[in-house]
Structure 1
């Protein structure tokens, strides 16, 4: 048993200073400081923040990229990278390349992360429609294969996608939703939105006249442009979730990307419900590197963009901190219908992150009651 004391607790809503008792992989008590007398190891977290482990809704743990040849693929990611970024629930996906990077490889990677302590999930499918699957059937994947919680990222408004029709996307959404209903968890289609002028038009067309809720289609990369952000705000107002990509580069910003803090504020000012906004890292995805206007290579997006954003908001835009935290925890868990992630609650799974604002870093991380990072030291 562990008693974490002295921290400012966010569940992700602010709860003030609490003592949190963990036993058997669960949170068993959240009480006023000093009110518990138990035989447990005490962790003094005075001056630190205790928050839920991050739910990173879009990652590429078996690597991404590949446009331009095999040499342009990013490397597989290791568990330590996620742990040091405070991520307890990475959601793995394929991207453009679903041939050299297969669902079998992704499944093995995700199961390996589970074996090393993370509560990892994965998405079936890829950019392509019809969507590839593990079992030959999307609904069957979600219903029968434990880490699969949805499909994605399916590409629209992007020349690298297979240009699906609204009817094809509607059918895929219905199959995915059915799998989630049967499984009692998951059932969401994560949509990669490219830089094309059609933006979210295909999503609107797919939902219009159907019995599907907008929440089954979950667009990401919505901070590519102000025009796309404005459409994303409307999508959220209609009941959908929208995802901001936190990882970016100066070159992408110069080309029109909106930084995560600016995107979050713009969505809120446009009336988007805060609980419908999420933030993910696109970890493992390829980011171009230019020198004097020439493509020199690629770097990989990193999950540490998420805690870095939280720390910068805490220092410079504190009014956005709690909203961004919910966007990395409770909200993506809700969007992907993950029943045991994204919150700190009595009886809930002990996925806990301790942030140290004074040191501007991730201090410790617990997943299902087990320390994976303690005082900055990786324990894997």
Structure 2
């Protein structure tokens, strides 16, 4: 259920939990929230009598930074098989129920019936429902569709726009952009973001084409663009691409994003992909996970003809992340970075999100002993509570 209306009459909320991971384990067990921020963490915090405060007793749960999903088709993706194959929108309930407080909306193949304006409207609708939401301007194709007619203006003047994406490369559905076109849009995104005080990520969709990551390798080798400007996603689409992604991350000290496919097919699950990247020596702080939620999972034959489609969900993201912790691939403190702290840094949101500390956004997920989300707080208000 969506909760929190009763909290609007309260100016402060005190969470009493069984433990806090910030992501490192803290001695504190209490979190005091007000005005959408964490204002104090401590042990048995004493609040003066008469203060407008609600106390939530959750001693059986642990508090962690709420999850961040940087790749969500909030308006629905799809369309590769015609208008009858458009995927549905995602709801605030579906987001919060997975412990996710922040999403970044993205357009994909369909930048015709779906538009940046529609995406912005949906992002603002999610914000109105209590979800922290942002968006990438653009879509698969180059030149990318924008809100203002200019990439730099989108970034400079629209607060919700934090980058460009998802630009498709090495995919038969891409617009087959030339290297100079890729360099131009990344450069424009960088300058527009600088003017707005944003990171300005360029989020690149990787298909299963033979060129793989070569366009991004050339971008980083032949220009002055820093590696943290560019995030390739779907790098676990097939084993050879994942191997290339490991080399890319190590060569350029770059970050790569693994997609939590429900049915990996010829690719790898996000659990297997993260495990292999770690085995190859990629530092965990250079790995992120995302869901591709409500995007399409189309199937094509050897000639590229459409033969069927499934709709991605965000359940695999949490399930694969839980498995990484349960099977000891990573300790909880480190694994949290894959869907929280690392993502906040990649997006340039680390001053507000990705950690539990005084002054940061009160985005908090409460987990049970099996690492299942039981409550999700966004800006200090409970937006999901399991029954």
Q: Within 2, Cα distance between the matches of 1:311 and 1:17?
A: 24
Q: Within 2, Cα distance between the matches of 1:263 and 1:42?
A: 41
Q: In the alignment, which residue of structure 2 is the partner of 1:284?
A: 294
Q: In the alignment, which residue of structure 2 is the partner of 1:329?
A: 340
Q: Within 2, Cα distance between the matches of 1:15 and 1:305?
A: 29
> Which runs of 5 or more structure 1 residues have no equivalent in the other structure?
none
Q: Within 2, Cα distance between the matches of 1:135 and 1:121?
A: 17
In structure 2, which of residues 240, 250, 268 is the aligned counterpart of residue 258 of structure 1?
Answer: 268
Please state if 1:304 is matched with 2:315.
Answer: yes
Please state if 1:219 is matched with 2:240.
Answer: no
Q: In the alignment, which residue of structure 2 is the partner of 1:59?
A: 72
Alpha-carbon contact 1:10-1:16 (below 8 Å) kept: no
Please state if 1:242 is matched with 2:247.
Answer: no
Q: Within 1, Cα distance between the matches of 2:236 and 2:118?
A: 30
Q: Within 1, Cα distance between the matches of 2:299 and 2:331?
A: 30
Q: In the alignment, which residue of structure 2 is the partner of 1:126?
A: 139
C-alpha change, 1:102 and 1:277, in structure 2 (3 Å) is same
Please state if 1:145 is matched with 2:158.
Answer: yes
Q: In the alignment, which residue of structure 2 is the partner of 1:356?
A: 368
In structure 2, which of residues 343, 358, 369 is the aligned counterpart of residue 346 of structure 1?
Answer: 358
Query: Could you report, residue by residue, the CA deviation over 1:134-190 in whole angstroms, capped at 9, with x for unpaired residues?
Result: 001101101101110001000011010011122111111111111111111231100
Give the drift of 1:45. 2.2
Please state if 1:201 is matched with 2:211.
Answer: no
Alpha-carbon contact 1:248-1:287 (below 8 Å) kept: no
Alpha-carbon contact 2:19-2:29 (below 8 Å) kept: yes
What is the RMSD of the two structures over their aligned residues, measured on CA atoms?
2.1
Aligned length: 367
C-alpha change, 1:16 and 1:223, in structure 2 (3 Å) is farther
Q: Within 1, Cα distance between the matches of 2:271 and 2:331?
A: 8
Q: Within 1, Cα distance between the matches of 2:59 and 2:375?
A: 13
TM-score, normalised relative to structure 1: 0.91
Give the drift of 1:7. 2.7
C-alpha change, 1:230 and 1:49, in structure 2 (3 Å) is same
In structure 1, which of residues 15, 18, 22 is the aligned counterpart of residue 26 of structure 2?
Answer: 15
Query: Could you report, residue by residue, the CA deviation over 1:190-209 in whole angstroms, capped at 9, with x for unpaired residues?
Result: 00000012110110112222
Give the drift of 1:211. 1.2
SS of the residue aligned with 1:6?
strand
Query: Could you report, residue by residue, the CA deviation over 1:340-363 in whole angstroms, capped at 9, with x for unpaired residues?
Result: 2222111111011111235x6321
In structure 2, which of residues 177, 184, 188 is the aligned counterpart of residue 164 of structure 1?
Answer: 177
SS of the residue aligned with 1:7?
strand
SS of the residue aligned with 2:112?
coil
Q: In the alignment, which residue of structure 1 is the partner of 2:96?
A: 83
Alpha-carbon contact 1:74-1:300 (below 8 Å) kept: yes
Give the drift of 1:103. 1.0
Give the drift of 1:317. 2.9
Q: Within 2, Cα distance between the matches of 1:309 and 1:30?
A: 30
> Which runs of 5 or more structure 2 residues have no equivalent in the other structure?
1-11, 301-305
Give the drift of 1:320. 4.9
Q: Following superposition of structure 1 onto structure 2, how do residues 75-114 of structure 1 map, counting pairs within 5 Å?
A: 75-114=88-127
In structure 1, which of residues 268, 275, 291 is the aligned counterpart of residue 285 of structure 2?
Answer: 275
SS of the residue aligned with 2:172?
coil
Please state if 1:30 is matched with 2:44.
Answer: no
C-alpha change, 1:268 and 1:313, in structure 2 (3 Å) is closer
Q: Which moved more, 1:200-209 or 1:91-100?
A: 200-209
Alpha-carbon contact 1:134-1:141 (below 8 Å) kept: yes
Query: Could you report, residue by residue, the CA deviation over 1:5-37 in whole angstroms, capped at 9, with x for unpaired residues?
Result: 233212223335522111221111112x32534
SS of the residue aligned with 1:322?
helix
C-alpha change, 1:23 and 1:324, in structure 2 (3 Å) is same
Q: In the alignment, which residue of structure 1 is the partner of 2:5?
A: none
Alpha-carbon contact 1:214-1:235 (below 8 Å) kept: no
Q: In the alignment, which residue of structure 2 is the partner of 1:184?
A: 197
Alpha-carbon contact 1:289-1:298 (below 8 Å) kept: yes
Alpha-carbon contact 1:64-1:74 (below 8 Å) kept: yes
Give the drift of 1:113. 0.4
